[in-house]
Structure 1
Amino acid sequence: MIKKLILVFIALFAIQIYAQEGTASPYSFYGIGSLKFKGTVENRSMGGLSIYSDSIHLNLRNPASYATKNLAQYDYESRPVKFAVGGSHSNAKLKSNSSTDEVNSTTLDYLAMSFPIGRFGLGMGLIPYTTVGYKLESLNSNNDLKSKFRGDGGVNKVYASLGYLVTNELSVGVDFGYNFGNIRNNTIEYVYTDQGSLAQYQTREDNRSDLGGVGLNFGLTYTKMIQEEFELTTSLTFRPKTNLTSRNSRSFNTITINPVNNNEYVMNSIEADLEGQGLKQTDLVIPAKLAFGAGIGQPRIWFVGAEYSYLNVSKFQNDLYAASDSAGNVNYSSASAISVGGFFIPDYNSFSSYLNRVVYRAGVRFEGTGLHINDEAINEFGISFGVGLPMGNTFSNANVGVEFGKKGTTNSNLIQENFINFQLSFSFNDRWFQRRKFN
């Protein structure tokens, strides 16, 4: 049954990974979009905390987590094969000094699985890395439409991971990933007649960037029992800088706009000479990222920890859109994030109460995105809660999370997002390889 469900999820993910708009944030206009993947639902329900690893959940941010100790319930023979699929729905209220709006987006966020191979653990999956999805408009002094900006797309990552259990306390691992995707946007600057009516013909600029490149991510986890009851967990991940190749195209189109439904019809199109401008193919650097954290708890009872990550996003942009960024007084600096969170399980082995076996999670995070617009830093804050719901008599579970937060500011004519993120994932565990036993 589990294998059939996985095939269904793979098909759904393959269909939607290109079709979905993973965000409706106006800040996805900048660089190569908003950073989309912030961990599994279990991670995000603890404020994005990703330092904790166990034998029944996937931790997609640290490749060392694929190698863990065997389970006592399986006579210490093996670990289960693990599957994970997750999605989210976001509702955001956008607020400026003069107006408000509301946007929604629903996406599949990740699909992953792992296999135990002795002291090794092999993982593979598909996740979104960044996402673009915005529709922005500005008005002129007559309160008529002056310009319109639209964009969609993003960068996805397909990867394979290998973890190794060096000792029962130390695990190391590495991700090999290929980043791919495209970003599309267009801009219309509206022209009016002397009488103030919309001119018959308008000009629309269309841009497209097809992105691709290989990246690595290294991880380490160390756990140590102290005072016989408490377990100390530490985690470290390092992603070297990743080079992406961006193949670009740009066209200028003469269009007419249907006044009834606002549909746009191209009457004439001219391709820009990007080759002559040195913009036909550009290089994009996704900078190195370092994250580390530590926590303490009692196994299968509770855990609390903190994590810090650092990312230098000063080069996190595409030269094709650099002119647009500079025109909007945009610059980039170092980004950092702090997460604090944990979980609690009333009674892991309870037979009399289902609620006692539920995992209760909570956390808080603060992120400085590194994006500055009009001399204002664009920061993000979130507080999250979640539960892990056991399914049947297996180690499989459903995970539900909710996050409340805000991003941006209304200062300097900018936009503040007040958002609610709802997340849902399924974690399936099964045994494919078992030793035969003879009486």
Structure 2
Amino acid sequence: MIKKIIAGVCLIFSAAGFAQENNASPYSYYGIGDVKFKGTTENRSMGGLGILPDSIHLNLQNPATYSALKFTTYTIGASDKARTLKADDGKETANRATLDYLAVALPFNKVGFAFGLMPFTSVGYKIQDNKVDSESQIEYVRRFNGSGGINRVFFGGAYKITPKLSVGADFQYNFGQIETKSIVTLPSNAVQYPTREINESFYNGVSFNLGATYQTKLKKLNWTSSVTYSPKSTLKSTTDRDLATITLTARDAEIVQDQLATVTVKDNVDMPSVFTIGTGFGQSNKWFAGVEYTSQSSNTLGARFDNITNVDFKSVSRIAFGGYFIPKYNSYNSYLSRITYRAGLRFENTGLVINNEDINDTAFTFGAGLPLGTGFSNLNVGFEIGKKGTTKANLIQENYVNIMLSLSINDRWFAKRRYD
């Protein structure tokens, strides 16, 4: 009965969470939006560190860790992100709550399997741009809106080759819809009606993620190393494009005056390869500290409207430091001693260059794993405080606080009973 209740709640959360507008960043204007973090609240609270195989927590970043699980694991995570968008001429605030992942893992001795659903990218922005044409000296206003994103269903497996070495792979199906709109308004003595362009794009495609972990003893310490690789992949896209002249009412409602064109465009989006390597030291059920480096090849993604000449893409690099500490995991008289305390730092060059300025993202993270009852299930809380972008070169700086919450429920399946 409890399993049916959990499954029902998860389906309700997934239907509501993935359908909502889940971003409020002007930088999601480029490419296919902001790439979401592929990991749990536990990992994210340690700066995004995805090195550790764990017997009770599902690690979504490296499929080789599935074979380390000892229990069937259900996990669901959500977050609430508050942003302050700062520019030279002022600032605005935005807040978005999202479902981050929903997954189930099943262990079978040396083999482990996992499947689930998570967002891959997200789009959400409202931008107004006032410009003067260099030739005619006519001032015009452009408004850009965007929403949607791409989701990911995954299924993966891992095999423990030796007690020290595990390998694994994820198969991922990516799908979603992104809608963007631009409205260009000129003075009435130049052009009578504003021009509107709506792009409704549908994406689908498959991708893969390969991983390996290695653990051994170095005197009294456990040494863990991890590596993952995602080869280049392709997303197929179909875009329905609608061009029209419109009038805007006092409440910005749009009334079509003349339908100019409706076309369907099919294209492929090349997704870059990603390589991650990490290592760390610790003591089982006591503490761990590690470092992880990610490199992503550059891509040719651009804006979804006209050709923007002040934007470039280059290779992505990210480095994360983090770890955890448990005062006394088996304490009987102190709940605080059984809590897992996590913290980390993350430094990322997103690969996006605007007006010759690199768009970087840095954050400090911390959190805690709160045991539920006397079993191995736990409630995880995390906080991420960071900064993305810059106010230089007329750009926007995002200062954000992200509150993360996840539930990890563990149960033992397929165990032989000694007594009926």
Match of 2:289, SS? strand
Q: Does 1:129 align with 2:120?
A: yes
1:25-424 → structure 2 map (5 Å cutoff): 25-68=25-68, 79-139=70-130, 146-194=141-189, 201-227=193-219, 229-259=220-250, 261-273=251-263, 280-315=265-300, 317=301, 321=303, 324=306, 326-424=307-405
Match of 1:76?
none
**TM-score (norm: length of structure 1):** 0.90
1:22/1:36 contact within 8 Å kept: no
Give 1:97 shift. Answer: 1.2
Match of 1:10?
11
2:271/2:299 contact within 8 Å kept: no
Give 1:105 shift. Answer: 0.8
**Cα distance in 2 between the residues matched to 1:388 and 1:224:** 25
Match of 1:67, SS? helix
Measured on the aligned residues, the alpha-carbon RMSD in Å equals 1.9
Opposite residue 182 of structure 2, the aligned amino acid is T
**TM-score (norm: length of structure 2):** 0.94
The change in CA–CA distance for 1:355 and 1:145 in structure 2 (over 3 A counts) is farther
**Cα distance in 2 between the residues matched to 1:352 and 1:87:** 31
Match of 2:68, SS? coil
Opposite residue 218 of structure 1, the aligned amino acid is L
Output one character per residue of 1:357-390: Cα deviation in whole Å (capped at 9) or x when no partner: 0000000000000010111110100000100000
Opposite residue 371 of structure 1, the aligned amino acid is L
Opposite residue 7 of structure 2, the aligned amino acid is I
Opposite residue 335 of structure 1, the aligned amino acid is V
Equivalent pairs counted in the alignment come to: 414
Post-superposition, which runs of at least 4 consecutive aligned residues in structure 1 deviate over 6 A? Answer: none
Match of 1:431?
412
**Cα distance in 1 between the residues matched to 2:17 and 2:309:** 32
Output one character per residue of 1:196-226: Cα deviation in whole Å (capped at 9) or x when no partner: 9xx8742211012211111110000111122
**Cα distance in 1 between the residues matched to 2:192 and 2:95:** 33
2:242/2:263 contact within 8 Å kept: no
Match of 2:22?
22
Give 1:328 shift. Answer: 4.5
Match of 1:327, SS? coil
1:204/1:253 contact within 8 Å kept: yes
Output one character per residue of 1:261-284: Cα deviation in whole Å (capped at 9) or x when no partner: 22223344343445xxxxx21111
**Cα distance in 1 between the residues matched to 2:170 and 2:379:** 26
The change in CA–CA distance for 1:216 and 1:415 in structure 2 (over 3 A counts) is same
**Cα distance in 2 between the residues matched to 1:331 and 1:28:** 14
1:396/1:427 contact within 8 Å kept: yes
**Cα distance in 2 between the residues matched to 1:292 and 1:2:** 36
Bigger drift between 361-370 and 250-259 goes to 250-259
- In the alignment, structure 1 segments of 5+ residues that lack a partner are 70-78, 275-279
Match of 1:75?
none
Opposite residue 168 of structure 1, the aligned amino acid is P
**Cα distance in 1 between the residues matched to 2:309 and 2:127:** 14
- In the alignment, structure 2 segments of 5+ residues that lack a partner are none
Output one character per residue of 1:58-81: Cα deviation in whole Å (capped at 9) or x when no partner: 000110011016xxxxxxxxx210
**Cα distance in 2 between the residues matched to 1:239 and 1:130:** 16
Percentage identity across aligned positions? 44
1:37/1:127 contact within 8 Å kept: no
**Cα distance in 2 between the residues matched to 1:373 and 1:250:** 26
Match of 1:72?
none
2:378/2:407 contact within 8 Å kept: yes
**Cα distance in 2 between the residues matched to 1:112 and 1:267:** 48
Match of 1:300, SS? coil
